[in-house]
Amino acid sequence: MAEGPTSVLSDYAKEADDFEHVIDHCVLEGAYSQHNTYITINLDEHPTQLASRILIMRYLNAGWSKMQIHSSQRDGSWVQLYF
């Protein structure tokens, strides 16, 4: 029997769960930089592209107007959540 994408996608969902836990903890604890229209949260590592898509959908559904995930060699990884 052929394996479908469910087993592969569940790995990315687990990765998204882990990042969501970190981001939510930072939001609840106030561990972010606040700007006029968004907050910035630093991450220890960058999520994969599929995990990023899952995270963006989750945070848009939670009421944020936009979510961007960034990464650079100099500054590391960070998330911007827009009000």
**What's the pLDDT score for residue 56?**
98
d(CA 55, CA 58): 5
d(CA 27, CA 14): 20
**What's the pLDDT score for residue 37?**
98
Identify the architecture of domain 6-82 in CATH. Answer: 2-Layer Sandwich (3.30)
Does the pLDDT of residue 6 top 90, yes or no? no
Under 8 Å between Cβ of 41 and 32: yes
Does the pLDDT of residue 52 top 80, yes or no? yes
